[in-house]
Amino acid sequence: MKLVSDKIHIEEHMPGVTLGVIALPHGLIQIDAPPSIDDGRAWRASLMNLSSGVDRILINLDSHFDRTLGARAMDCPIIAHEKVAEAFRSRPSSVKTQVEETGADWESIPGIGTVRWSPPEITFTGNMAVQWNDTAVLIQNHEGPCPGASWVIVPNEKVVFIGDLATKNQPPYFSTANFSEWLASIDHLLANYSDYKIISGRGGQISVSDVEQTANVINLILAEISKGGTRNNANDLAEKLTQTVVDLYSFPAKHKKQYELRLLYGLKQYLVKHLRSNQPH
């Protein structure tokens, strides 16, 4: 566990997403959950060592499996955007996790088996605030990577958790992307929070240049689509873009196959959705 401010810790070394926790006198505000049952137990045990009150809540930054598979094991109320709740309503109450490979981190974890989902008990449609003691924790909806994607902002600590808005040393997930909203959210982050510690769900604390790289990658993809992307050539275009984009990131060679799969799957999904009328979105 890494301390990023007086009250905020993150965990970057478990498969899935970067986890966060805000330790307050009233209790713990947890941000996302590890998908592995064993990692969930280890994470909960490590949280017991923090100085805080007895209350617990969990915030899911979006509906991606990497951050929601293990939410039930956190055994506390869950907060998420209403669109995240909608995503859960479209899923069966339990699901076997042997599904199509997408390049997600949870897919490499053995023994997950059948999962019973934990939909959020508390939802919001725009913004929400949790006021425990003198520390305000803001939850804001910022679309782009996923419907219902949100940030957690702690103004007193000058820390912002941005979920999958930007990544470090790995490509983003594009299968549920809305690029125009994504770029608008990046602009908002850079205009308002460039002096904050920025915590990515994929890579821990990142820099402004990492955020700008994500914007550059999205603009590169849109430029290639504008040259003649249609639904008829979506697969060829996705394969071409995968090879172009994966080379823009620096990561260990052992992740190359996974990240290529992530890009190819995500780009195919995006292009099929947004090139139906032979026009980029």
pLDDT tens digit string along 227-255? 876 667 788 899 999 999 999 999 999 99
Domains contained in the chain, number: 1
User: Is 279 a member of any domain?
Assistant: no
Query: Residues 178, 144: contact at Cβ < 8 Å?
Result: yes
CA atoms within 13 A on the CB side of 39: 25
CATH code assigned at 90: 3.60.15.10
Q: Which residues contact 11 (CB under 8 A, 6 or more apart)?
A: 1, 2, 18, 19, 20, 43, 46
Where would I find the H helices in the chain? 37-47, 65-68, 82-89, 179-192, 208-226, 234-246, 256-274
Q: How far apart are CA 218 and CA 37, in angstroms?
A: 34
User: Is 280 a member of any domain?
Assistant: no
pTM for the structure as a whole: 0.93
pLDDT tens for 134-183 read: 889 999 999 999 999 999 999 999 999 999 999 999 999 999 999 999 99
User: Is 62 a member of any domain?
Assistant: yes
Number of other CB atoms surrounding residue 170 within 10 Å: 19
Q: Is 150 helix (H, G, I), strand (E, B) or coil?
A: strand
Number of other CB atoms surrounding residue 184 within 10 Å: 14
Output the pLDDT for position 178.
Answer: 96
Output the pLDDT for position 94.
Answer: 67
User: Is 196 a member of any domain?
Assistant: yes
Output the pLDDT for position 278.
Answer: 46
Here the tokens at position 32 are 């996302």
Query: Residues 39, 59: contact at Cβ < 8 Å?
Result: no
Q: Which residues of the chain have pLDDT under 70?
A: 94-99, 229-231, 276-281
Question: Which residues span the domain enclosing 15?
Answer: 2-274
User: Is 104 a member of any domain?
Assistant: yes
Give CA separation, 250 vs 145, 171, 245, 247, in Å: 21, 10, 11, 8
